[in-house]
């Protein structure tokens, strides 16, 4: 772990079920490879995960089982370790590649910006040569304009100890927001292609479908159906991503999926027993064996207490040389990037969804009332009344009371988006846009303009408010007790993930009390320089560039026809820099004073 990481919180544990074939999964790590430096429960870093995987590999060899490592994309954008360098990821790619990942694919974040997509092709694909799969993703070579597969379309291999013949695919959901140097082919079209149709007819013991794809979405349903149309009985293991939640899905009695949350909070564990191995052909005995197959999942909290618990090791025996070297490289990178430089002192916790919006502790109320109202200013039009619209998904993490650092800046707001505007929009039409963006409806029914894309991905699975046990939020992270067995008479539970999935509520490796969350809107709006009395005739209609397609559609619905050429620059800097500037100016008090 990093020297400044808080010590992990003790809690009752569930052990990991081992099978013939076992998996560790990461997804949506978004650059959090230093771990969470303000949250003990997730404070292990990428180096610790490397040590953990090495011990688990050794154990697999000892018991004659297999262990495969999976990563399903969105490795970038969301943490200073990736975002604070120029070019981005100057250190992060080299840190990430140290893990011995067996099957890896891309996420949508690797593709939003053309430079990030180019780095995917020139760095990550070669770093994971032979392991990187791009079943529905092409890259456009900058030199020639030629369109080529980003990496191989699928991979077949035989596992080391059990001799299980695996055929692995690597998909991205039907994403349309990519820069123009990549082409994402819809999954539904890809599965009709000749290579895929041939692949699903191959004689293998297991289909492994990894993807930056939600487990319950239409893409995996289509892939499942396609494979089952050829192989009615071959086990299929899916690994998902994108929605930032811990999740598990049952497709049929031999097809399951797991998804390991987000931000290096969770390492997914999956174990399968009863697979026909060693390349043997089906025979009645094998079928009998397979009908008693089992698929079990765990969601591992990413901290050292848990890692030591699962490996049976201690503080001195757990770290491996390789793991320690990677932790040291992360430390050096963070220092070089000055990620601990303080920009100010946050006066209170500001939550995305743990307190109601609007409210004093809502990150979005702070953004609306304090930040946007003060940074959305174009000097030559500073007195012009304006509405400023921001999508809630642009903010990626809570702010904790205390030092707000260069790292916090990218954790909260990693994107390079800028403020744009349309001038002199009739106020009546402009004021109808926010309700439209928040209520959705049929005007946004096209694939490119899904409403959920405006909100944080976690929101996809929050359908109503949930009020957990009330406890002081800061105190909830503090515990000095040692690790406790599961059946302790009065377990001292701390708040954390309490996952309910298709297999029940026993998936988390650590027992927690549930966390409160409230629903949040898709977008928020700040009204600035409005007349003291009455409404203005027209306003400058300002927005973060990500929402432009939705804004133009909504305005058209109100009867105002604008297009891309009506949109002009409002501020030249990235919003992230405007926010950091506001913090430096307004939270400049040193936390120690
Ligand atoms: O420039 C951007 C890019 C993305 N967003 C928000 O992020 C989600 C996608 O996040 P995942 O981690 O891929 O799930 C997108 O739907 C937007 O809400 C953004 O606001 N600006």
Cβ pair 413, 394 in contact under 8 A: yes
Which of 246, 574, 586 shows the shortest CA–CA distance to 399?
Answer: 586
DSSP run (H or E) holding 206: strand 206-212
Could you report the per-residue pLDDT of 307-337, keeping only the tens digit for each?
999 999 999 999 999 999 999 999 999 999 9
Phi, psi for residue 513 in degrees, rounded to 5? -90, 150
User: When comparing pLDDT for 147 and 291, which is higher?
Assistant: 147
Crossing angle for the helix pair 321-336 and 46-63, to the nearest 10 degrees: 160
Please tell me the predicted confidence (pLDDT) of residue 100.
98
User: Do residues 365 and 441 both lie within one domain?
Assistant: yes
Please tell me the predicted confidence (pLDDT) of residue 481.
32
Crossing angle for the helix pair 46-63 and 304-311, to the nearest 10 degrees: 10
Domain extent, residue 442, equals: 341-462+518-586
In whole angstroms, give the CA distance from residue 548 to residue 377: 19
Mean pLDDT in the chain? 93
Task: Reply yes or no on whether the pLDDT at 294 is more than 70.
Answer: yes
Q: Is 233 left (phi over 0), alpha (psi -120 to 50) or beta?
A: alpha
Could you report the per-residue pLDDT of 467-510, keeping only the tens digit for each?
877 654 433 333 333 333 333 333 578 899 999 999 999 999 99
Task: Reply yes or no on whether the pLDDT at 593 is more than 70.
Answer: no
Phi, psi for residue 428 in degrees, rounded to 5? -60, -45
Task: Reply yes or no on whether the pLDDT at 246 is more than 80.
Answer: yes
Q: Does residue 508 form part of some domain?
A: no
Which of 276, 309, 322, 259 shows the shortest CA–CA distance to 49?
Answer: 322
SS3 219: helix
Ligand 1 atom nearest residue 109's Cα: 13
If pLDDT is split at 50, 70 and 90, which confidence band does 290 have? very low
Crossing angle for the helix pair 548-557 and 427-439, to the nearest 10 degrees: 120
Total number of domains in the chain: 2
Cβ pair 273, 313 in contact under 8 A: no
Q: How remote is the CA of residue 456 from the centroid of ligand 1, in Å?
A: 7
Which of 121, 46, 55, 52 shows the shortest CA–CA distance to 82?
Answer: 46
Which residues, other chains included, contact 232 with Cβ-Cβ below 8 Å and sequence gap of 6+?
Answer: none
Among 259, 393, 461, 521, name the best residue to mutate to test ligand 1's pocket (greatest count of ligand atoms within 8 A of Cβ).
393
Q: Does residue 135 form part of some domain?
A: yes
Phi, psi for residue 540 in degrees, rounded to 5? -80, 130
SS3 readout for 147-197: EEECCECEEEEECCCCCCEEEEEEEECCCCCCCCCEEECCHHHHCCCHHHH
Q: How remote is the CA of residue 23 from the centroid of ligand 1, in Å?
A: 28
Q: How remote is the CA of residue 469 from the centroid of ligand 1, in Å?
A: 30
Q: Does residue 495 form part of some domain?
A: no
What's the CATH number where 408 sits?
3.90.780.10
Distances (CA, A) of 215 to 101, 142, 173, 203, 239: 21, 34, 10, 25, 8
Please tell me the predicted confidence (pLDDT) of residue 470.
62
Cβ pair 105, 112 in contact under 8 A: no
Task: Reply yes or no on whether the pLDDT at 23 is more than 50.
Answer: yes
Q: How remote is the CA of residue 391 from the centroid of ligand 1, in Å?
A: 9
If pLDDT is split at 50, 70 and 90, which confidence band does 450 have? confident
User: Do residues 224 and 254 both lie within one domain?
Assistant: yes
Q: How remote is the CA of residue 169 from the centroid of ligand 1, in Å?
A: 24
The residue whose CA is least distant from atom 9 of ligand 1 is 457
Please tell me the predicted confidence (pLDDT) of residue 277.
63
The residue whose CA is least distant from atom 15 of ligand 1 is 453
Alpha carbon 243 to chain centroid, angstroms: 7
- Point out the domain boundary residue: 335, 362, 393: 335
- Percentage, residues of the chain above pLDDT 70: 93
Ligand 1 atom nearest residue 28's Cα: 12
Q: Does residue 533 form part of some domain?
A: yes
Q: Does residue 497 form part of some domain?
A: no
Which of 308, 306, 296 shows the shortest CA–CA distance to 267?
Answer: 306
User: Do residues 151 and 237 both lie within one domain?
Assistant: yes
Please tell me the predicted confidence (pLDDT) of residue 229.
98
Among 410, 546, 549, 551, name the best residue to mutate to test ligand 1's pocket (greatest count of ligand atoms within 8 A of Cβ).
546
Distances (CA, A) of 200 to 196, 214, 218, 227, 250: 6, 21, 19, 6, 20
User: Do residues 420 and 544 both lie within one domain?
Assistant: yes
User: Do residues 384 and 244 both lie within one domain?
Assistant: no
Please tell me the predicted confidence (pLDDT) of residue 508.
98
> Comparing 90-99, 189-198, 511-520, which segment has the lowest mean pLDDT?
511-520
In whole angstroms, give the CA distance from residue 171 to residue 73: 10
Dihedral sign for Cα atoms in the order 409, 412, 417, 420: negative
Q: Extract the tokens encoding 356.
A: 């109601």
Ligand 1 atom nearest residue 108's Cα: 13
Please tell me the predicted confidence (pLDDT) of residue 291.
52
Q: How remote is the CA of residue 453 from the centroid of ligand 1, in Å?
A: 7
Q: How remote is the CA of residue 457 from the centroid of ligand 1, in Å?
A: 7
The residue whose CA is least distant from atom 6 of ligand 1 is 393
User: Do residues 376 and 417 both lie within one domain?
Assistant: yes
Which residues, other chains included, contact 248 with Cβ-Cβ below 8 Å and sequence gap of 6+?
Answer: 215, 256, 257, 258, 259, 297, 501, 502, 503, 507
User: Do residues 398 and 444 both lie within one domain?
Assistant: yes
Task: Reply yes or no on whether the pLDDT at 386 is more than 60.
Answer: yes
Could you report the per-residue pLDDT of 140-179, keeping only the tens digit for each?
999 999 999 999 999 999 999 999 999 999 999 999 999 9
Which residues, other chains included, contact 360 with Cβ-Cβ below 8 Å and sequence gap of 6+?
Answer: 348
What does 525-581 look like in DSSP terms, one character per residue?
EEEES--SSS--SEEEEEEEGGGHHHHHHHHHHTT----GGG-EEEEEEEHHHHHHH
Q: How remote is the CA of residue 586 from the centroid of ligand 1, in Å?
A: 27
Q: Does residue 486 form part of some domain?
A: no
Return the beta strands (E) in 392-537 as ranges: 402-405, 418-426, 494-495, 512-513, 523-528
- Point out the domain boundary residue: 275, 310, 335: 335
- How many Cβ atoms are within 10 Å of 115's Cβ, its own excluded? 13
DSSP code for 443: G
Residue located via tokens 């990519």: 178
Q: Does residue 492 form part of some domain?
A: no
Residue 72: exposed, middle, or buried by beta-carbon count in 10 A (0-12, 13-18, 19+)?
buried
Cβ pair 555, 562 in contact under 8 A: yes
User: Do residues 228 and 372 both lie within one domain?
Assistant: no
Ligand 1 atom nearest residue 457's Cα: 14
Cis bond before residue 87 (omega within 30° of 0): yes
Q: How remote is the CA of residue 393 from the centroid of ligand 1, in Å?
A: 6
What's the CATH number where 191 sits?
3.60.21.10
Residue located via tokens 């260069």: 406
Q: Does residue 456 form part of some domain?
A: yes
> Comparing 66-70, 99-103, 290-294, which segment has the lowest mean pLDDT?
290-294
Could you report the per-residue pLDDT of 91-146, keeping only the tens digit for each?
999 999 999 999 999 999 999 999 999 999 999 999 999 999 999 999 999 999 99
Please tell me the predicted confidence (pLDDT) of residue 29.
98
- Ligand 1 pocket by Cβ (under 6 Å): 28, 74, 108-109, 112, 242, 391, 393-394, 415, 417, 453-455, 457, 546
The residue whose CA is least distant from atom 21 of ligand 1 is 394
User: Do residues 36 and 157 both lie within one domain?
Assistant: yes
List the Cα angle 14/17/22 in 5-degree steps.
Answer: 130
Q: Extract the tokens encoding 362.
A: 């809502």
Task: Reply yes or no on whether the pLDDT at 281 is more than 90.
Answer: no
User: Do residues 345 and 330 both lie within one domain?
Assistant: no
Could you report the per-residue pLDDT of 517-565, keeping only the tens digit for each?
999 999 999 999 999 999 999 999 999 999 999 999 999 999 999 999 9
Q: Which residues pair with 513 in a beta bridge?
A: 495
Among 394, 396, 438, 520, name the best residue to mutate to test ligand 1's pocket (greatest count of ligand atoms within 8 A of Cβ).
394
The pTM score is: 0.94
The residue whose CA is least distant from atom 4 of ligand 1 is 394
């Amino acid at each position: 772990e990093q020297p400044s990481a808080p010590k992990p919180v003790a809690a009752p544990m569930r052990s990991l079920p081992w099978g013939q074939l076992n998996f560790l999964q990461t997804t949506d790590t978004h650059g959090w490879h230093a771990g969470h430096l303000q949250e003990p429960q997730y404070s292990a870093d990428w180096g610790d995960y490397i040590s953990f995987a090495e011990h688990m590999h050794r154990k697999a060899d000892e018991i004659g089982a297999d262990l495969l490592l999976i990563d399903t994309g969105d490795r970038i954008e969301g943490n200073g370790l990736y975002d604070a360098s120029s070019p981005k990821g100057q250190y992060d790619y080299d840190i990430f590649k140290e893990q011995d990942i067996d099957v890896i694919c891309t996420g949508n974040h690797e593709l939003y910006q053309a430079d990030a997509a180019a780095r995917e092709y020139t760095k990550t694909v070669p770093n994971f040569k032979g392991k990187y799969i791009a079943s529905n993703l092409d890259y456009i070579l900058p030199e020639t304009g030629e369109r080529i597969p980003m990496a191989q379309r699928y991979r077949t291999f035989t596992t080391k100890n059990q001799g299980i013949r695996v055929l692995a695919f690597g998909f991205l959901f039907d994403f349309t927001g990519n820069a123009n140097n990549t082409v994402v082919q819809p999954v539904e079209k890809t599965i009709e292609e000749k290579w895929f149709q041939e692949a699903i007819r191959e004689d293998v013991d297991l289909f492994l479908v990894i993807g930056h794809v939600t487990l319950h979405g239409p893409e995996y349903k289509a892939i499942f159906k396609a494979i089952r149309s050829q192989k009615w009985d071959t086990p299929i293991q899916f690994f998902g991503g994108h929605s930032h939640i811990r999740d598990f899905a049952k497709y049929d009695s031999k097809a399951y999926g797991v998804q390991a949350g987000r931000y290096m909070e969770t390492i997914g564990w999956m174990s399968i027993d009863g697979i026909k191995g060693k390349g043997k052909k089906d025979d009645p005995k094998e079928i009998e064996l397979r009908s008693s197959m089992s698929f079990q999942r765990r969601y591992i909290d990413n901290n050292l207490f848990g890692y030591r618990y699962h490996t049976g090791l201690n503080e001195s025996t757990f770290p491996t040389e390789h793991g320690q070297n990677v932790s040291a490289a992360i430390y050096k990178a963070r220092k070089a990037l000055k990620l601990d430089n303080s920009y100010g002192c946050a006066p209170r916790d500001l939550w995305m969804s743990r307190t109601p919006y609007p409210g004093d502790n809502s990150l979005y109320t702070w953004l609306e009332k304090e930040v946007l109202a003060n940074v959305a200013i174009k000097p030559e039009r500073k007195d012009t009344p304006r509405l400023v619209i921001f999508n809630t998904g642009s903010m990626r993490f809570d702010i904790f009371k205390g030092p707000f650092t260069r790292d916090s800046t990218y954790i909260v707001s990693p994107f390079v988006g800028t403020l744009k505007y349309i001038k002199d929009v009739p106020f009546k039409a402009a004021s109808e846009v926010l309700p439209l963006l928040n209520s959705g409806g049929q005007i946004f029914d096209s694939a490119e303009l899904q409403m959920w894309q405006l909100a944080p991905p976690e929101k996809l699975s929050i359908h109503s408010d949930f009020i957990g046990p009330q406890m002081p939020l800061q105190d909830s992270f503090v515990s000095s007790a040692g690790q406790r067995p599961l059946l302790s008479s009065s377990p001292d539970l701390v708040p954390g993930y309490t996952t309910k999935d298709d297999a029940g509520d026993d998936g988390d490796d650590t027992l927690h009390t549930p966390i409160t969350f409230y629903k949040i809107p898709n977008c928020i709006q700040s009204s600035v320089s409005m007349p003291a009395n009455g409404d203005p005739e027209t306003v400058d209609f300002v927005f973060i560039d990500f929402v432009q397609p939705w804004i133009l559609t909504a305005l058209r619905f109100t009867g105002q026809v604008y297009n891309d050429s009506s949109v002009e620059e409002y501020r030249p800097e990235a919003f992230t820099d405007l926010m950091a500037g506001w913090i430096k100016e307004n939270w400049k008090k040193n936390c120690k004073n």
